[in-house]
Structure 1
Amino acid sequence: MSQKTSLPPTTDHPTAPHGNGRRSRREFLRSAALGAIAVATVPLLRGHMAHAATTGGRSMLIVYFSHSGNTRRLAACIQRLTGGDMAQITPLTPYPQDYDAVVELARQEQRRNVRPPIAAMQPDPAAYDTLFLGYPNWWGTFPMPVATFLENYPVGNKTLVPFCTHEGSRLGKSEQDLRRLCPQARLLKGFEVRGSRVDGTEPSVKAWLSELGLI
Structure 2
Amino acid sequence: MAKTLVIYFSRSGENYVDGKIKNLVKGNTEIVAEYIQECVDVDLFKVETEKEYSNNYMECIEEAKQEIQQDSRPKLKKYLNDISEYDNIVVAGPCWWGTYPMSIFSELEGLDFRGKNVFSIMTHEGSGFGSSKQSLMIFCKGGNVMNGLAIHGAEVQESKKMIQKWAEENLK
Q: TM-score range by the shorter chain?
A: 0.7 to 0.9
Q: State the partner residue of 1:136.
A: 94
Query: Where do residues 61-100 of structure 1 align in structure 2 (5 Å cutoff)?
Result: 61-68=5-12, 69-100=27-58
Identity of aligned residues (%): 31
Distance in 2 between residues matched to 1:161 and 1:67, nearest whole Å: 20
TM-score normalised per structure 1: 0.68
How has the CA–CA distance of structure 1 residues 152 and 119 changed in structure 2, closer, same or farther, with 3 Å as cutoff?
farther
Letter in 1 for 2:4: M
Task: List runs of 5+ in structure 1 lacking aligned partners.
Answer: 1-55
1:161 aligns with 2:119: yes
Summarize the alignment of residues 28-67 of structure 1 with structure 2, pairs less than 5 Å apart.
Answer: 56=1, 59-67=3-11
Offset of residue 153 of structure 1 = 2.7
Measure the CA separation in 2 of the matches of 1:66 and 1:79. Answer: 15
Task: Give the structure 2 partner of residue 192 of structure 1.
Answer: 150
Does structure 1 conserve the Cα–Cα contact (< 8 Å) formed by 2:35 and 2:164?
A: no
Q: Of residues 124, 141, 158 in structure 2, which corresponds to 1:183?
A: 141
User: Residues 7 and 44 of structure 2 are in contact (CA less than 8 Å); yes or no, is this contact kept in structure 1?
Assistant: yes
Q: Structure 1 residue 102 and structure 2 residue 60: aligned?
A: yes
CA distance in structure 2 between the partners assigned to 1:180 and 1:63 by the alignment = 16
Do the aligned partners of residues 178 and 122 (structure 1) sit closer, same or farther apart at CA in structure 2, a change above 3 Å counting?
closer
Q: Secondary structure at the match of 1:61?
A: strand
Q: Which has the higher strand share?
A: 2
* Secondary structure, aligned partner of 2:49: coil
C-alpha change, 1:123 and 1:201, in structure 2 (3 Å) is farther
Residue 28 of structure 2 aligns with an amino acid whose one-letter code is N
Larger Rg: 1
Give the whole-Å Cα distance in 1 for the aligned partners of 2:153 and 2:110: 27
RMSD of equivalent CA atoms: 1.8
Q: Distance between the aligned counterparts of 2:69 and 2:32, measured in 1?
A: 28
Report how many aligned residue pairs link the two structures. Answer: 158
For residues 45-75 of structure 1, the C-alpha deviation after alignment (integer angstroms, 9 at most, x for no partner) is xxxxxxxxxxx47x11111000121100000
TM-score of the two chains, using structure 2 as the length reference: 0.84
Give the secondary-structure state (helix, strand or coil) at the position aligned to 1:200.
coil
Q: Which residue pairs with 1:170 in the alignment?
A: 128
Distance 1:98 1:152 in 2: 32
CA 106–180 in structure 1, closer or farther in 2 if over 3 Å, else same = same
Post-superposition, which runs of at least 4 consecutive aligned residues in structure 1 deviate over 6 A?
A: none
Q: CA deviation at 1:149?
A: 0.6
How far apart are the structure 1 equivalents of 2:32 and 2:6?
A: 10
Amino acid at match of 1:125: I
